[in-house]
Structure 1
Amino acid sequence: MYYKPVIVLVGRPNVGKSTLFNRFTKSKDALVANFSGLTRDRIYGDGTFGNHEFIIIDTGGFEPSSKDQMYVKVANQTNQAILEADIVIFLVDGKDGLCSTDYDIANFLRKLSITNILLVVNKSEGKNISAMASEFHELGFGSPFLISASHGDGVGLLIESIFESKLNFIDYKNDDVLQNDNLDRKIRLSIVGQPNVGKSTLINSMLGEERLITFDSPGTTRDSINVDFGFLDRSYVLIDTAGLRRRSRVSDYIEKFSVVKTLQSIEKSNVVLLLLDANIGISDQDARIASYILESGKAIVIAINKWDSISVDSRSTVEKEFKRKLHFLSFANMHFISALRKTNIKRLLFSVNDAYDAAFAKLPTPKVTRALLNAIKQQPPPKKGIFVPKLRYAHQGGHNPPVIVIHGNCLTNIQDSYIRYLESCFRREFKLSGTPLRIEFKSSKNPYV
């Protein structure tokens, strides 16, 4: 089974955890699940470094021995993040040296019996390496890695060491199995949503049997992580959104709605089914997960469950509200279902098929270019200043999601509104329903060609 490794950053306040987090996510605002009121708790991001991809968790400043209520809450959140992680990066400050809080954190980690702990000394630029290494040896976690999060020194060696370890995870970008996963023609489907939204009920309705699949109870014994099933002439693999690692010690601490599990299930999917509760509406967590699905490029279908519990008079208003809040997913089919009564389940699966087919659609170059020229004929690109963009031809540059590459001149001046117009034209021409569509531009170096 495949999943991105989960790396958590732990350390006392002001040792550079957020700086390292921002370096891994390559953007200060590249946050996946920064829950309201939890900035002092933990922040999830999609990390990349070189050819490696991983989920990175930034935690608040950790002071285990503090009695202050704020730090007690930080300790609880840090504890939960550690229990979700594959690797713990214990970050210390090379400029300030060891302090009592570092020893407290070291003792806390040892009590949890965590084995995959890497001691990392930040702010080590310009320091005596041997003297610094010997000082931090006292913490008892072996030879430390010396880095500078702000300048990037030593960060590459740290990541390479993590991926060279013999842990049970793989590198997504270098994995041929995942890259060619569509070859077996089984649709890898994950159902994501908050607890009690009806995921297990929907799964039982799809499978046609009462099969107990508890998605949000870590450590529960199950006979299968992936579930195979069929509908008409299509085969599916249902991805277990409860995550891949079943650790007995997690069940007592981990929160019911786990962002890490959801992100992992999205990464392993061809199509993501976002399940929402008609009675509750869209929470901040739902909106962030929907945004992450969009950024990941996965095909998506939206299902509003418990529709039978909404009065007939209110349904029109509720439907408009859902569509308004999820306007950025307007390309995705939205279904109003009742998992318990099995209403609209078939239509839901038809949309899953359409989204998968669109994500892996092959777009012939002549047809793509013809669609581009027809779009230009109906509405030419507006010029910006003295520059007039010239779009000459287009071809497909990838799939899952589909990528269309447009060649021409002065393409850097094309406005966002016109890109959205082109996207709608391509979607309409090739019936690309349920999948994100990305458009790339390549300008010729010769302005006269």
Structure 2
Amino acid sequence: MLPTIAIIGRPNVGKSSLFNRLVGRRLAIVDDTPGVTRDRKEAEATIGGRPLRFIDTAGLEEAPPESLAGRMHASSEAAIRQADLVVFVIDARAGITPPDRAFAAWLRRQSVPVLLVANKTEGRQGGLAAMEGYELGLGDPLPVSAEHGEGISALQADILNLLPEAPEEEAGGEGRPLRLAIVGRPNAGKSTLLNTLLGEERMITGPEPGLTRDAVQVEWSDAAGRVRLVDTAGLRKRARIEAALEKMSVGATIGALKECEVAILVLDALLGMDEQDLRIARLAEREGRAVVIALNKWDAVEDRAAARRRVEDVLQTSLAQSKGVPVVPISAATGQGVDKLMPAVRRVEALWNTRVPTGALNRWFEAVLARHPPPLVDGRRIKLRYATQAKARPPTLLVFGTRAEQLPEEYRRYLVNTFREAFDMPGVPIRLHARGTANPFAEE
């Protein structure tokens, strides 16, 4: 039996749109009218090389058992009993509703793992709206837009992480592969580096059929386990890619960064880090990916100290979150230094995957507030109450308090930078979300 994922939620939260995205074809009818889906729909799809079965269910509604809505509810419950994982979808635009709370309470009593998805989070405030989902007690709400395809790669990764290991992976004893992207501007040496890592002349050829894209994948093993190179073809067909990025031919880079866990950014050491390299590094930062810089063609560099200093100066001045990113000088053509690249990748991936213990996090938060309290905003005090690490991959902090949502950008940077220093995470992108308390008696 294939691992089974049931997609459930209230009517009209976007379950069928999400189902269509995940299976890669339009199987379920999508309409704004609540209750369009009445029967369960099933389809198979492959994610990350693993075949899965998805079930699109009718909307969950409280109703008498003999009514149509009641029978639809019973059908959804039957799907949950079959499932290895439940994807519970809420509408971030509508906010948390009483039925959402009731179904979340019911799901918490079930034995099946639940992945909470906040749909309809397109736009600038979408991610913040998703944070409301924390009150359901089902873990980290994952922001997606099924209609626009945003957040689907992260959802696919979370689905794979929450499912039991595939039997062949258990037998191999190495776990799931590290997903790695090799990115950079043309002629920086990406293909040569790939061939050197593989130890053979091997072009990335013929696209494998993927879920929502044509993917090119190459798999190998380093000393720490399996590695899968992820790349994306055909991404330029997306209408919403910014024109400036399209002109710079980094459309495929966006797709690779969405799919990977760590990116190796290959620079031409003779040319240094130019605007296109900066754009790619900022894309990696925006997607929250760990990065290692491969300073290629090192064998041809005469003044090596100056070449390295130029790159580190750019990182210091233009990429605030990338200060401390590992820089590994290599020659992909000769193999010089390439043996140091994958150990650096593994180290930065471990940092990117860090979850700070609650006690240590509380001590850090108390210390930074004591050292530098939040400033007044419009003459009113911001009182921060507590912080929690919502997730890793990348480390994401949630800060709560009176008027916390008004925290100035400089103070947010202060919190992020001191967190990075306190827990030794150089070069790791760190997310910070601030949420104000709704208590009218909160201290002014």
In the superposition, the TM-score normalised over structure 2's length comes to 0.53
Among candidates 203, 207, 228, match of residue 213 of structure 1: 203
Deviation of the 1:416 alpha carbon: 1.6
Among candidates 294, 298, 302, match of residue 285 of structure 2: 294
One-letter code aligned to 1:349: M
Partner of residue 276, structure 2 = 285
2-structure distance, mates of 1:438, 1:171 = 18
One-letter code aligned to 1:197: A
Partner of residue 437, structure 1 = 430
Deviation of the 1:257 alpha carbon: 7.3
Deviation of the 1:270 alpha carbon: 0.9
Matches within 5 A, 1:287-366: 287-312=278-303, 314-315=306-307, 317-324=309-316, 326-328=318-320, 329-366=322-359
Deviation of the 1:318 alpha carbon: 3.2
Partner of residue 178, structure 1 = 157
Partner of residue 422, structure 1 = 415
1-structure distance, mates of 2:316, 2:435 = 34
Deviation of the 1:305 alpha carbon: 1.0
Partner of residue 181, structure 2 = 190
Matches within 5 A, 1:91-240: 173=152, 177-182=156-161, 184-207=175-198, 209-213=199-203, 225-240=216-231
Deviation of the 1:333 alpha carbon: 2.1
Over 3 Å counting, the alpha-carbon distance change for 1:278 and 1:391 in structure 2 is: same
2-structure distance, mates of 1:239, 1:193 = 14
Calculate percent identity across the aligned residue pairs: 31
Residues 366-404 of structure 1: CA distance to partner in whole angstroms, max 9, x if unpaired?
322221111112222232343222222111112322211
Partner of residue 448, structure 1 = 442
Structure 1, 332-341 or 179-188: larger mean CA deviation:
179-188
Partner of residue 390, structure 1 = 383
One-letter code aligned to 2:278: A
1-structure distance, mates of 2:21, 2:429 = 21
Structure 2 residues without counterparts, runs of 5 or longer: 1-16, 23-145, 163-174, 209-214, 237-245
Q: State whether residues 204 and 217 of structure 2, in contact with CA within 8 Å, keep that contact through their aligned partners in structure 1.
A: no
Residues 328-373 of structure 1: CA distance to partner in whole angstroms, max 9, x if unpaired?
3225222222222323323322221122222322233332222111
Report the 3-state secondary structure (helix = DSSP H, G, I; strand = E; otherwise coil) of the residue aligned with 1:180.
helix
One-letter code aligned to 1:213: M
Residues 141-190 of structure 1: CA distance to partner in whole angstroms, max 9, x if unpaired?
xxxxxxxxxxxxxxxxxxxxxx89xxxx9885398642234564421000
Deviation of the 1:275 alpha carbon: 0.9
Q: State whether residues 290 and 427 of structure 2, in contact with CA within 8 Å, keep that contact through their aligned partners in structure 1.
A: yes
Over 3 Å counting, the alpha-carbon distance change for 1:53 and 1:412 in structure 2 is: farther
Q: Confirm whether residue 410 of structure 1 aligns to residue 399 of structure 2.
A: no
Report the 3-state secondary structure (helix = DSSP H, G, I; strand = E; otherwise coil) of the residue aligned with 1:225.
strand
One-letter code aligned to 1:373: E
Over 3 Å counting, the alpha-carbon distance change for 1:327 and 1:364 in structure 2 is: same
Q: State whether residues 323 and 330 of structure 1, in contact with CA within 8 Å, keep that contact through their aligned partners in structure 2.
A: yes
Over 3 Å counting, the alpha-carbon distance change for 1:274 and 1:241 in structure 2 is: farther
Q: State whether residues 331 and 436 of structure 1, in contact with CA within 8 Å, keep that contact through their aligned partners in structure 2.
A: no
Deviation of the 1:53 alpha carbon: 8.5
Partner of residue 242, structure 2 = none
One-letter code aligned to 1:173: I
Report the 3-state secondary structure (helix = DSSP H, G, I; strand = E; otherwise coil) of the residue aligned with 1:375.
helix
Partner of residue 119, structure 1 = none
Structure 1, 315-324 or 431-440: larger mean CA deviation:
315-324
Over 3 Å counting, the alpha-carbon distance change for 1:256 and 1:225 in structure 2 is: farther
2-structure distance, mates of 1:281, 1:392 = 45
1-structure distance, mates of 2:380, 2:429 = 29
Q: Confirm whether residue 272 of structure 1 aligns to residue 231 of structure 2.
A: no
2-structure distance, mates of 1:241, 1:174 = 12
Deviation of the 1:234 alpha carbon: 3.0
Q: State whether residues 281 and 322 of structure 1, in contact with CA within 8 Å, keep that contact through their aligned partners in structure 2.
A: no
2-structure distance, mates of 1:180, 1:337 = 36
2-structure distance, mates of 1:399, 1:380 = 26
In the superposition, the TM-score normalised over structure 1's length comes to 0.53
2-structure distance, mates of 1:414, 1:346 = 44
1-structure distance, mates of 2:207, 2:276 = 19
Residues 104-147 of structure 1: CA distance to partner in whole angstroms, max 9, x if unpaired?
xxxxxxxxxxxxxxxxxxxxxxxxxxxxxxxxxxxxxxxxxxxx
Bigger radius of gyration among the two: 1
Partner of residue 65, structure 2 = none
Over 3 Å counting, the alpha-carbon distance change for 1:175 and 1:445 in structure 2 is: closer
2-structure distance, mates of 1:171, 1:415 = 27
CA RMSD of aligned residues (A): 3.6
Q: State whether residues 172 and 178 of structure 1, in contact with CA within 8 Å, keep that contact through their aligned partners in structure 2.
A: no
Report the 3-state secondary structure (helix = DSSP H, G, I; strand = E; otherwise coil) of the residue aligned with 2:389.
strand
Report the 3-state secondary structure (helix = DSSP H, G, I; strand = E; otherwise coil) of the residue aligned with 2:400.
strand
Report the 3-state secondary structure (helix = DSSP H, G, I; strand = E; otherwise coil) of the residue aligned with 1:422.
helix
